[in-house]
Amino acid sequence: MTRGLPARGPALAGTVLAALLVACGGGSGGGTEGADPTGAEKSGGVALAFTADEPNPGPASSSLAIETLVGDTAGLRVSVREVDDVRSASLDVTFDPAKVDFVDWSAGDLLESGGQQPFYLVAEQPGRVVIGVSLSGSGPGIDVGAPLSLVRLTFRALGPGSSHLAFENMALLDAQAVPQEIPGIAWHGGTLSAN
């Protein structure tokens, strides 16, 4: 299933997709951010928790962070911190489809922070969510200090067990005329567990 916000014309869609294809790859997998990156919620006999691979990610990083835990459903955000000139991103979030199900996504606040409306492309594949997001047209990128969310993802536990959520094929791209991958980004996933 593919879901996205409509682009403003085929030229924009082609530019976004070309930029995302140029940047596929790079980075290292793995965690979350914040002082307490775990959450736990017990509802209807299901105890759900998220544990970050990296509880306190440093500068120039992207990580999965917990937003909500309600019953068997977890809302996570892909956060970016202390990275300059971000104009677009491409990434996959992998998971064990026998343990969790991808439910939905919503826009983040990173690329929206400049008052622009980015283009999102989110496609679900077995055990994988493929994500592309880009600002429309040309112009400067966004300088990120404190963590901002690139995109929000919702997963549901299918029963007891755990699934590691990891990043693959990930890149943050800059605002150059031919977008370049921003080097040195640490990527951190986490584990969603249900008891």
Token output for 17: 């997709």
Q: Domain-by-domain residue ranges, the chain? A: 2-194
The CATH class of 2-194 is mainly beta
More confidently predicted of 27 and 116: 116
pTM for this prediction: 0.79
CB 79 within 8 A of CB 149: yes
* Segment 76-89 mean pLDDT: 97
**Residue 115: CB partners within 8 Å, gap ≥ 6?**
none
List for the chain the helix, strand, coil content (%; round to 5): 10, 50, 40
pLDDT for residue 138: 84
* Strands lying side by side in the sheet with 88-94: 2-4, 119-125, 128-134, 88-94, 161-173, 190-194, 46-52, 39-43
Cα angle 136-138-142, degrees, rounded to a multiple of 5? 80
pLDDT for residue 106: 97
Q: What is the mean pLDDT of the chain?
A: 82
Residue whose structure tokens are 């992207």 = 62
Q: Answer yes or no: is pLDDT of 12 > 90.
A: no
pLDDT in tens, 118-171: 999 999 999 999 999 999 888 899 999 999 999 999 999 999 999 999 999 999
pLDDT for residue 137: 83
* Segment 20-36 mean pLDDT: 34
Of the pLDDT bands very low, low, confident and very high (cuts 50, 70, 90), residue 41 is very low
pLDDT for residue 116: 83
CA dihedral 7, 174, 181, 169 (to 10 degrees): -40
CB 72 within 8 A of CB 48: yes
Q: Answer yes or no: is pLDDT of 47 > 90.
A: no
